[in-house]
């Protein structure tokens, strides 16, 4: 049951990371804000892995394969795309709507995991995924049928960006889990190795891209060291929680329980960004609790 506290910790850290990314996105472009997520996370993840081996030096080193490399590179690329799209959402809609749309990853993970990755969910697990999806829709404000209706409240472009971001996050999680299972190491060493390698690939790609195409944006991160560091630190801590949880349990259940992040997001929106909660937010929060209970019992 260690996947449960790992997931809750990850969701809490990710909510704060998103909040800091939102602030940074008001000043820098999507690619720069995406890089802020990884630029310090690599060294922190490497230190975490080193501490694990100091704690249990008898643990063997992993054996890498071509399939493992494909999973790591795929996860790195899909997470870059997912994060960049979510930053776009921050720039289009309010904070809670952006996160809520991106959290469609739970239903994507359940569908793709069942179709392509051999994931088997119990009826209670599927019920939790479904309830969690409804809860996120409520919390993001999607079902408010005011004015010109659903598409008047959330534009088709915003819905497309949000769903694509969720799909990309789901692919990231599924490939991370597959990579962790391939290493056949004890918990949490496999997750730590995957974390270090995925972040290293992401940092190398983004730094190279910005150095080639947009050096001004790269320099912009250096001019905002505190905010950049906060994004990286909370991102790394959150990733440790997510990668560890997904090495223990199916992605669909982890991501459904991880929707409690939206609860943390709303609290941050209310107390950090001074955004008032609507009536449907409370219904959404109640459903989040029901979904969490379902997946933990499943």
Query: Which candidate, 238, 278, 240, 276, places its Cα nearest to that of 260?
Result: 238
Task: Give the per-residue pLDDT at 263.
Answer: 79
DSSP per-residue string spanning 28-81: S-HHHHHHHHHTTHHHHHHHHHHHHHHH-TTSPPP---HHHHHHHHHHHHHHHH
Could you tell me if residue 138 is inside a domain? Answer: no
In angstroms, rounded to a whole number, what is the distance separating the alpha carbons of residues 113 and 264?
A: 26
CB-CB contact of 177 with 247 (8 Å)? yes
DSSP per-residue string spanning 104-125: THHHHHHHHHHHHS-----HHH
Kindly tell me the burial class for residue 205, based on how many C-beta atoms sit within 10 Å of its own C-beta (0-12, 13-18, 19 or more): middle
Phi-psi region of 122 (alpha: psi -120 to 50; beta: other; left: phi over 0): beta
Kindly tell me the burial class for residue 169, based on how many C-beta atoms sit within 10 Å of its own C-beta (0-12, 13-18, 19 or more): buried
Residues of the domain holding 205? 3-120+149-249
Task: Give the per-residue pLDDT at 281.
Answer: 64
Task: Give the per-residue pLDDT at 98.
Answer: 60
How many residues are listed for the chain in this entry?
298
Task: Give the per-residue pLDDT at 214.
Answer: 77
The DSSP symbol for 249 reads: S
Kindly give the parts of the chain with pLDDT less than 70.
Answer: 91-101, 136-137, 139-155, 273-282, 284-285, 298
Could you tell me if residue 129 is inside a domain? Answer: no
Task: Give the per-residue pLDDT at 273.
Answer: 67
In angstroms, rounded to a whole number, what is the distance separating the alpha carbons of residues 152 and 58?
A: 59
pTM here is: 0.84
Could you tell me if residue 282 is inside a domain? Answer: no
Q: Report how many helices (DSSP H) and strands (DSSP E) the chain contains, helices first.
A: 15, 0
Task: Give the per-residue pLDDT at 49.
Answer: 97
Could you tell me if residue 261 is inside a domain? Answer: no
Task: Give the per-residue pLDDT at 278.
Answer: 65
Task: Give the per-residue pLDDT at 87.
Answer: 78
Could you tell me if residue 280 is inside a domain? Answer: no
Query: Which candidate, 256, 251, 230, places its Cα nearest to that of 124?
Result: 256
CB-CB contact of 17 with 79 (8 Å)? no
In angstroms, rounded to a whole number, what is the distance separating the alpha carbons of residues 29 and 34?
A: 9
Question: Which residues are within 8 A (CB) of 86 and not within 5 positions of it... i.e. 6 or more apart?
Answer: 18, 21, 98, 99, 102, 165
Task: Give the per-residue pLDDT at 102.
Answer: 72
In angstroms, rounded to a whole number, what is the distance separating the alpha carbons of residues 26 and 248?
A: 37
Task: Give the per-residue pLDDT at 150.
Answer: 39
Asked whether the CA dihedral 239, 76, 247, 108 is positive or negative, the reply is positive
In angstroms, rounded to a whole number, what is the distance separating the alpha carbons of residues 57 and 84?
A: 38
The token duo for 65 is 């394969």
CB-CB contact of 247 with 184 (8 Å)? no
In angstroms, rounded to a whole number, what is the distance separating the alpha carbons of residues 139 and 137?
A: 6
Could you tell me if residue 186 is inside a domain? Answer: yes
Query: Which candidate, 230, 251, 233, 231, places its Cα nearest to that of 242?
Result: 251
Could you tell me if residue 35 is inside a domain? Answer: yes
Torsions phi, psi of 223, nearest 5?
A: -85, -5
Could you tell me if residue 243 is inside a domain? Answer: yes
CB-CB contact of 266 with 281 (8 Å)? yes
Q: How many domains does the chain have?
A: 1
């Amino acid at each position: 049951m260690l996947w449960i506290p790992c997931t809750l910790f990850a969701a809490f850290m990710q909510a704060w990371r998103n909040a800091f990314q939102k602030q940074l996105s008001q000043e820098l472009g999507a690619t720069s804000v995406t890089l802020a997520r990884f630029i310090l996370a690599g060294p922190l993840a490497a230190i975490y892995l080193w501490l694990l081996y100091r704690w249990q030096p008898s643990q063997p080193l992993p054996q890498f394969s071509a399939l493992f490399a494909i999973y790591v590179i795929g996860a790195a690329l899909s997470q870059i795309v997912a994060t960049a799209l979510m930053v776009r959402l921050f720039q289009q809609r309010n904070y809670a709507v952006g996160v809520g749309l991106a959290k469609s990853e739970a239903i994507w993970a359940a569908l793709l995991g069942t179709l392509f990755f051999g994931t088997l969910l119990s009826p209670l697990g599927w019920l939790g995924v479904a309830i969690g999806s409804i809860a996120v829709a409520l919390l993001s404000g999607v079902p408010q049928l005011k004015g010109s209706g659903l598409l008047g409240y959330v534009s088709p472009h915003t819905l497309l960006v949000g769903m694509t971001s969720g799909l990309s996050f789901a692919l990231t999680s599924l490939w991370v889990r597959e990579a962790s299972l391939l290493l056949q190491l004890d918990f949490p060493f496999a997750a730590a190795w995957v974390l270090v390698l995925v972040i290293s690939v992401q940092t190398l790609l983004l730094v190279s891209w910005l150095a080639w195409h947009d050096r001004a944006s790269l320099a912009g991160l250096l001019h905002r060291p505190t905010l950049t560091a906060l994004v990286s630190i909370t991102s790394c801590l959150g990733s440790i929680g997510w990668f560890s949880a997904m090495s223990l349990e199916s992605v669909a259940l982890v991501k459904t329980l991880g929707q409690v992040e939206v609860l943390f997001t709303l609290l941050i929106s209310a107390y950090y960004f001074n955004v008032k909660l609507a009536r449907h937010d409370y219904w959404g929060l109640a459903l989040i609790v029901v979904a969490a209970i379902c997946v933990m019992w499943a």
